[in-house]
Structure 1
Amino acid sequence: MFGLFKPKKKPLLSAAEQERIVAAVQEAERNTSGEIRVYMESRCAYVDSMDRAREVFFKLKMQETSNHNAVLVYIALVDRQLALYGDEGIHRKTGGDPYWRQEVQLLRRFFQENRIAEGIATCVQHIGMSLSEHFPYDSKTDKNELPDDIVFGD
């Protein structure tokens, strides 16, 4: 009987932390047609977290946004890996890799201080500002193309 039941995993974030991040996503998307998703898992199955982020991005069909302006915030908490993956539309408009490296560094600083939820929320806010600058909200055409909730992997 012992082998039939797996011990329940401790959640990666508390309910309050999850609410804070989802609220940050909703607030960030309020001023843009862009989309932001947060994906968290314990371990990264790849050596390079960007490869895993790319896989998750396409698995979640984030490339299907009408303006190609979706951004994935990928975090493997136990392995201490993270990546930001922006679709081609936002990647070009932000100036590419230097912008994303700056945001990753910001997130790392928060993580080093064990302020995970605050770091994710702050990063989401920064991405939202860039999205609103390059892809402003249009009340006539904008719709929420992707869910705002956090996706938890294994």
Structure 2
Amino acid sequence: MRLFPKKELFNEDEKAKVVAAVRQAERLTSGEVRVYIESRCAYVDAFDRAKEIFAGLGMEKTKQRNGVLLYVALLDHQFAILGDQGIHEKVGGEFWQKEALLLRDYFKRNLIVEGLEVCVKEIGESLRHHFPYAAEDKNELPDDIVFGR
């Protein structure tokens, strides 16, 4: 079994598209979106891995508890979307299920980057609705993609 080096998971253009989607989504909200990509998921359930990553990235430390993590294990064809308490209380489980179905549809067509872009955009719109940008808001978490093992 060959694991792809981190730099091969996405090329520079693909990375730039996803980061641009995150920055655009965060432009009008105090919410935070992170994207974490790795080749393999060490857990049976990708949601368990996403919870570990969420805590490891300190995403629960945002002022309004409105961080969202999109986790993808490319070679295992697994993903999870995890929203912190503040945003989850506003949008509920149906919102996350809708976004998961959207991602799954794109991923089935091997449109990983496009799926992430659309999902990030929709999450950003929801964050903007529930957590609009205020003058005192600051970017609490980096916008770059995090590449795991």
Q: Same fold (TM over 0.5)?
A: yes
Pair member with larger Rg: 1
Q: Name which of 105, 109, 128 aligns with 1:109.
A: 105
- Secondary structure at 2:8 match in 1: coil
SS class of match (2:82): strand
Name the amino acid aligned to 1:124: V
Q: How does 1:72-91 map to 2 (within 5 A)?
A: 72-91=69-88
Query: What displacement does 1:27 show?
Result: 0.3
Q: Cα 1:8–1:101, aligned 2, differ >3 Å: closer, same or farther?
A: closer
1:150 partner letter = I
CA deviation after TM superposition for structure 1 residue 11, in Å: 1.1
Counterpart Cα distance in 2 of 1:41 and 1:19: 17
Q: What is the distance in 2 between the residues matched to 1:118 and 1:17?
A: 9
Describe the superposition over 1:28-69 as per-residue Cα deviations: whole angstroms up to 9, x where unpaired: 000100000000000000001100000000000000000000
Number of residue pairs the alignment of both structures matches: 147
* Cα distance in 2 between the residues matched to 1:8 and 1:86: 28
**Contact 2:31-2:127 within 8 A present in 1 as well:** yes
Alignment of 1:1-154 (within 5 A): 9=5, 11-95=8-92, 97-139=93-135, 141-154=136-149
Structure 1 residues not aligned, in runs of 5+: 1-6
In structure 2, distance between residues paired with 1:81 and 1:71: 17
- Taking only aligned residues, the RMSD between alpha carbons, in angstroms, comes to 1.4
- When residues 50 and 8 of structure 1 are mapped into structure 2, their CA distance, relative to the original with a 3 A threshold, is closer
Structure 2 unaligned regions, length at least 5: none
Consecutive aligned runs of 4 or more in structure 1 exceeding 2 Å deviation: 7-10
